[in-house]
């Protein structure tokens, strides 16, 4: 069995790391480069940096921040926010990013996934999906959760895989920031429908929640933010805990 990955997520707005509840009520959590350095030194497997307002405000992702992160951390990192073309991806990779995460632009124009995978390889393309459980199904949202679409989680994730996505990053908007645990049932459904890795996001409040994402949700990686940013969970202790639960992790 492949090692389960622990991925701190840094939502960035105006150059600072922020965290909210259900995608709103943001508060500052510190400098994104220094937090990334700390997580890299503590043993995180990867990092994700998301410019959470880039799609809304029509801005391109922060190239300067990407360059600083690449110079500072020693683990792979993914960058997302405002990516709408192969040229955007080329610029980000050229400045040190290892992968890109696409969300709004991919739903609007799914061919973007084909183009990224065809040019740079499937491993570079992470398709992020923000969804809310509505009327008995998971419905996808755009623009940082501000705009509802007619796409559903399972069918869109499957199409993204078929177009060349290397991973699916699923965030439950209902669970985000609540610290009540991940959407494990939806994660398990994704695992059963897909052949590519699934990253769990939204709802982490304890080490047990991460273990649940791996066991009940069958996720390949767990992404969390505030529990790491505010020091409630330390990555070395988390990995020891997961190892004691019988889960394969890189120590």
Q: Which long-range contacts (C-beta less than 8 Å, at least 24 apart) are formed by 75-78? A: 75/39, 75/40, 75/44, 75/45, 75/46, 75/47, 76/45, 76/46, 76/47, 77/36, 77/46, 77/47, 77/48, 77/49, 78/46, 78/47, 78/48, 78/49, 78/126
Catalytic site residue from 11, 88, 176, 220: 11
CA 11, CA 185: separation in Å to the nearest integer?
25
Q: Is 130 a catalytic residue?
A: yes
Catalytic site residue from 45, 51, 88, 130: 130
Sign of the alpha-carbon torsion through 115, 122, 126, 96: negative
Q: Is 11 a catalytic residue?
A: yes
CA 168, CA 157: separation in Å to the nearest integer?
7
HSE, CB side, 13 Å, CA atoms: give it for residue 66.
24
Q: Do the Cβ atoms of 41 and 21 come closer than 8 Å?
A: no
Residue 214 belongs to what H/E stretch? helix 207-215
Residue 194 has φ and ψ, to the nearest 5°, of -115, 160
CA 125, CA 166: separation in Å to the nearest integer?
5
* C-alpha of 147 from chain center: 19
Helices 153-163/184-193 angle, 10° precision: 40
Q: Residues with catalytic annotation?
A: 11, 130
């Amino acid at each position: 069995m492949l090692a389960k990955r622990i991925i701190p997520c840094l939502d960035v707005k105006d150059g600072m790391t922020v965290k909210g509840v259900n995608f709103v009520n943001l508060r500052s959590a510190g400098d994104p480069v220094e937090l990334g350095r700390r997580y890299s030194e503590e043993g995180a497997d990867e990092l994700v940096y998301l410019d959470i307002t880039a799609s809304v405000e029509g801005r391109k992702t922060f190239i300067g921040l990407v360059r600083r992160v690449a110079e500072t951390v020693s683990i792979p990192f993914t960058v997302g926010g405002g990516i709408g073309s192969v040229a955007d991806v080329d610029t980000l990779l050229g400045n040190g990013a290892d992968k890109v995460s696409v969300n709004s632009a991919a739903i609007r124009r799914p061919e973007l996934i084909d183009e990224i995978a065809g040019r740079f390889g499937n491993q570079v393309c992470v398709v992020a999906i923000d969804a809310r459980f509505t009327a008995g199904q998971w419905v996808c949202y755009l623009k940082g959760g501000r705009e509802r679409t007619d796409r559903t989680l399972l069918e869109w994730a499957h199409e993204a895989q078929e177009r060349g996505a290397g991973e699916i990053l699923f965030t439950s908007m209902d669970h985000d920031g609540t610290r009540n645990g991940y959407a494990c049932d939806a994660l398990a459904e994704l695992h059963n429908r897909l052949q590519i890795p699934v990253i769990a996001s939204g709802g982490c409040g304890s080490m047990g929640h991460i273990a649940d994402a791996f066991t009940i949700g069958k996720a390949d990686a767990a992404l969390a933010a505030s529990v790491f940013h505010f020091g409630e969970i330390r990555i070395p202790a988390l990995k020891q805990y997961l190892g004691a639960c019988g889960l394969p992790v890189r120590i």
